[in-house]
Amino acid sequence: MIEVQVPAAIPRDQLSLSFSIKDLKGTDLIVSTPCDITWLTLLEDERFAVSFRFVNPLVTGKHLLVAAVENRQHRDIHYYEYLVGAHYFSSLADQPFFGLFQPAIKQHVLVG
């Protein structure tokens, strides 16, 4: 969950909270913001919270979390706040996989 207190002078019509998970080299692996799906106009309140939930597709490795408060008015995003390394964590997969992700994959083997 990302919780912020936004000054009243910041317009709410294009304001969004987002997170990303990066590898330790800084490559974005997962990025999400509520405006990816539908635009939400935030109320004039100063305090906001957004929670994100997903099944972890990452294989074993070390990662970092980024939290951001952003203005999405234009194609180029303007960041009011961008916290790289808001949290460092390790992901541990049940099996040794190659690649960066191991999403749920259904496999069918055809013989003959």
Averaged pLDDT for residues 48-67: 92
CA distance 61 to 4: 29
Q: For residue 19, is it within any domain?
A: yes
What is the average per-residue pLDDT within 21-39? 89
Provide the domain limits for residue 33.
Answer: 2-91
Kindly state whether residue 110 falls inside one of the protein's structural domains.
no
* 86 within a domain of the structure (yes/no): yes
> Which 3 state secondary structure label does DSSP give 11?
coil
The answer to the question of residue 75 being in a domain is yes
- By the 8 A CB rule, do 1 and 51 touch? yes
User: Nearest Cα to 9, choosing from 84, 83, 74, 71?
Assistant: 71
Provide the CATH number for the domain around residue 46. Answer: 2.70.50.60
Is residue 51 assigned to a domain?
yes
pTM of the full structure: 0.81
Under the banding of pLDDT at 50, 70 and 90, the label for residue 65 is very high
